[in-house]
Structures are given as C-alpha cells and as structure tokens.
Amino acid sequence: MDSNEVYAELYRRLRFSNKDTKRLETLKQDFGELVMRYLSKYPQFSQYKYIGSSETGTMSKWGTDIDCLLAFSPFDKPSFREGISSMSSHLKNINFRENLTIVPDIATAEYKGTTLGLTGVNYGIAPEEGLEGDVWMHPEYSRQILSEDQKKEVILAKAFFRTLGIPGRSLGGGFTIEQMIASFGSFENMLSVFSQGNPIYIDSSGNYKGPKSRLVVSYPFCGLENLARKFSDEEFERASNYAEKVLGDPEMFLWDAITKFNEYFWERRGSKLGSVEEYSGPDTHLYKKENKEIRRILKKLNPEVVLDLGCGNGFSTSEICSGLEGRVIGIDRNPEAIVNAQELTSSKNNFQFIAASMENIPLDDNSIDTVYMKRSLCNLPSIKMQEDALNKCYRILKEDGTLLISDLIQEGYDKLTKIRRSLGLPKLRQPNHIRLPSEREITEMTQSKFELEEIRDVTSTYYFATRIVYPFLTKMLGGSQENLQFDSLLHKVSAALPSFGSIGANKLYLLRKNGK
C-alpha cells in the first residue's frame, strides 16, 4: 500500500459515520436545552457555545467529547458550579477542576455515555484582548482556516499522536493540531516538518511573546499563551523520530494506529460494561449460539488444559467452559478485563486468567491440549500479526492438540452485503477496530502447521434472519434502519433454529496440530 492508500484506509476506519454525527448532534441539542433550563435562572448567565472537534467537523471514533463554553457576564463561580450541580439527575461523574490558569472554571461530566467538558468564561472579552475571548472564537477560526480535505488530515494527525501515546493535554487539544495542519497544508507535510527535528513555531496572532520551546502554537487572536506549552522535549523527540519512520513505511503506521485504536476500543468498552455479557458486543443471541457450539466441541474433546485466547471479560469463557474437568486458562491483553474475568469466576478453582497479548503468550511449549480463539484473531490488525498469533498457538499446543478458530470472515460480510443491496438495504457495516481475515488467508496461515478437520457455519440461518429478513421487514413497514434492535422476537427465535446454508459472517474452523 502506498501512503495515499494507507491514509485513506486509516481515515475510513476512524472517521465519524453519518449515524455517529447525527447522534452527536442530537446529544448537543438535548444538552443545550438542559443548559438553558437549568442555567437561565442565574442573572449572570449569558449563553452557551460548543467548541472543539464536535463543532468543527474533525471528530474521530478514537475519542470525541463534547466541549461546551458557558458564558457569564461577569463570570460567577458559585453560579457556574451550582448550575452544573443542579443537573446531577442528568449528568454522571460531575467533577470540578482546581488551580486553573487559562479560564475561570472547568467541570467534566458524562451525559448519555459521552464525556462533557464544561468551561466557564467571562463573556464580553474581545478575542484580541484575553484568552477567554480567544477561546470563544476557536470554532470560527478553525472553520476559516481548514478546508474539507484538511479536516481529514486533522483526523490522521490526531491518530499519529494517539498512536505515540501523547495525550491531548500535552498538545493543548485538537485546536493545536488543526492549526498545525492549516499551517503545513497536510498530514504528510506535518510529518516532514517533525522529522527534521527543528523547533516548530506557529503564531497566527503575531503577538506571541511567551517562552520559546520546541513546539509553539499560540492562541491565534491574542497570542498570550502557547497552546502546546506542556509538550515536552521528550514528546517532541518521539514525534520527530516516529514521523521519520512513518514517512519511510506508511503501512507500519496503519497497523500501529489500528492496534492502539483496538486497545482503546476494548479498554473503553471494559470500563463501561465491566463483566456483563454485552462486553463482547450487543448481539448476545449470536454470541450464545457460538458459545454453545464451542462448548459442545470441548465437551467431546474433554481437554486436560484449554486456553481461551482473547478471553475478554471472561463471560464467554465461563459460559463455554463451566463443567469441564480440566484446567481453563484465559488470556487477554486488557488488564481491566482480566480483573473482571477473575471476579466473575472467583468460585471456579480450575479457572485462571492472565493479562498478556496474543503475540507474547506466557505459556510453555507443548503445554495446552486445546486452544480456542473466539473473535480474537480479527482483533489483530495485520495479516502478519494474525499469522504470528497462530504460530504461537502451534508452539504451545501439545502434539495432536486442537485449535478452534471461530471468527468473522470477509467473504461472509461480502455475501450478506450483496443480498442486502439486491433488496435495497444498506451495506452491512464492518467493525472498524478489527481486520477481517479471508477464507484463503486462514487456509494459507494454517496449512503448514495444522490439519484442517472441518469448517462449520453455525450462524448462517441466524444471520439471514437477523441481517436480511429483519431489516427488510422493518423497511417494508416504514421503520428506520438506524435503530434496529438485537433483542427482537425474530432474534430470539432465530437463535434456536438449526443452521442451513453458508452465508454466516463467521465460520468455525477445527484444526489439529500436525507435528511437523
């Protein structure tokens, strides 16, 4: 893949869909109504305004919050805090920050599952005269300096810093990145500038007189402060060195970024859902159907030691392996998920969970009777990483040991999409935090070390009923395709039906280590 293909693919995965955008706009509208209902009773309150990526169109699936300015004239801290606290029946985890220097007060909260940043400002300060006035004008400034194409470049630049583990607070937020892209013209030009290792100075105001550091991006109207004042020399060096590597190997950046994005996805999901069944996904009927099939196979095999590789929060592990006499091990790279798994199975003495990656399995050679990978291979973002994980499975399996791969397959999605399009239904959306292997790739990755015993499609009927019949009937009855439920009566009935045909989006591979 050349650089253009790489950047296009990464943008496709990280961009907000129309559905995401609509949801965010609805949240903003709903929260705005709350603000007016609860704050308009304070005489000093003037108005509210959204800033940040949700306002300038540079949202990314890799973390988008809603940032809202609450203007008071003059600013009144007790009214600001009392007004926000009065919304506690609608907001979760309200927290007020202390020791601020740029604005008078800031609170954070959660609203309908989305993080809010609530900033109090003194309304009426001209942007050329003070930081609060400057901040108030940020959305207008970004819309003025960024073209539609450059908004895509901003999302790539955000992914660059997130991949490096450099937090937004070091950069001064997305507004710093927006100014850098506007100044350099494109993401690749930004990489070229960073790779040279020279100090970067962007001052649209022409008035900045603060300390000079390796990265200066001033507030664009007043020039009174460096947005990137917390960007350390060590972070600059990391960005500089990595930029040089990305220019030489753009595809490396794609896999690095998607790996980090995948980690972010599961960490966020784990923090929200803990040990509940929906951790793996919202379609619990589908996962139960897969679990039952794997459980039937394991009962016949009766392994002394079985490994769930990519076990998540342990819910499926418990459902699949309860009742087995042998030792059960679960491995997942998310430490929080492992803690949840340990708590969930605390009464099962033969269960053990380990925080580790699939690329570095901390188990001895020839020590496991059966390994099963349930929707975990696809969570590795490149074919090389997937092949490496399968090689690790070969290493730890005993002679004649069994490998079960139950995973999403690209051909399954393609078949379903073709049928859906013939019926006037939208394309079946593929998860953007994973990479679907093809049937050919699984064959090529396993044929030298494993004997293929069987391929099963245990979900074909279920997928046909829930991904084709259900949305088609909804369409015929005038319903929306954006709010389809995973717990309809059709889902429940379909989960109990035997599977016919071969149009399921996932397949179950039964393989045996060949000992070569």
Same structural domain, 186 and 287: no
Contact by Cβ (8 Å): 388, 444: no
Where residue 175 sits, what CATH number does that domain have? 1.10.1410.30
Strand partners, 70: 48, 120
Q: Which residues have C-beta within 8 Å of that of residue 44, sequence separation ≥ 6?
A: 72, 73, 74, 75, 76, 79
Amino acid sitting at position 410? Q
Alpha-helical (H) ranges within 249-377 are: 250-273, 284-301, 315-321, 335-344
Residue 329 and residue 343: Cα distance in Å, rounded? Answer: 14
Residue 91 and residue 31: Cα distance in Å, rounded? Answer: 10
- The domain tally of the chain equals 3
Amino acid sitting at position 15? R
Is residue 141 a part of any domain in this protein? no
Same structural domain, 453 and 324: yes
Where residue 372 sits, what CATH number does that domain have? 3.40.50.150
Where do we find the tokens 């919050």? 65
Same structural domain, 111 and 173: no
Q: Give pTM, 2 decimals.
A: 0.91
Residue 316 and residue 428: Cα distance in Å, rounded? Answer: 25
Contact by Cβ (8 Å): 371, 307: yes
User: Where a domain ends, among 131, 157, 178?
Assistant: 131
Boundaries of domain holding 241: 146-261
Residue 260 and residue 262: Cα distance in Å, rounded? Answer: 5
Residue 203, helix vs strand vs coil: coil
Query: Kind and range of the H or E element at 79?
Result: helix 77-85
Do the strands 66-72 and 351-355 form a parallel or antiparallel pair, or are they unpaired? unpaired
Is residue 256 a part of any domain in this protein? yes
Looking at residue 89, the DSSP 8-state letter turns out to be T
Chain centre to alpha carbon of residue 317: 23
Query: Kind and range of the H or E element at 370?
Result: strand 368-374
Same structural domain, 231 and 184: yes
Same structural domain, 244 and 316: no
Chain centre to alpha carbon of residue 67: 19
Same structural domain, 203 and 164: yes
Structure-block tokens of residue 34: 């709350």
Amino acid sitting at position 211? P
Same structural domain, 348 and 392: yes
Same structural domain, 151 and 117: no
Residue 516: its pLDDT value, please? 55
The tens place of each residue's pLDDT in the chain, 516 residues long, gives 899 999 999 999 999 988 899 999 999 999 999 999 999 999 999 999 999 999 999 999 998 899 999 999 999 999 999 999 999 999 999 999 988 888 999 999 999 989 999 999 999 899 999 999 999 999 999 999 999 999 999 999 999 999 999 999 999 999 999 999 999 999 999 999 999 999 999 999 999 999 999 999 999 999 999 999 999 999 999 999 999 999 999 999 999 999 999 999 999 898 888 889 999 999 999 999 999 999 999 999 999 999 999 999 999 999 999 999 999 999 999 999 999 999 999 999 999 999 999 989 999 999 999 999 999 999 999 999 999 999 999 999 999 999 999 999 999 999 999 999 999 999 888 888 999 999 999 999 999 999 999 999 999 999 999 999 999 999 999 988 877 889 999 999 999 999 999 999 999 999 999 865
Residue 515 and residue 503: Cα distance in Å, rounded? Answer: 33
Is residue 127 a part of any domain in this protein? yes
Is residue 200 a part of any domain in this protein? yes
Contact by Cβ (8 Å): 431, 499: no
Is residue 424 a part of any domain in this protein? no
236: left (phi over 0), alpha (psi -120 to 50) or beta: alpha
Q: CB burial class (10 A; 0-12, 13-18, 19+) of residue 18?
A: exposed
**Length of the chain measured in residues:** 516
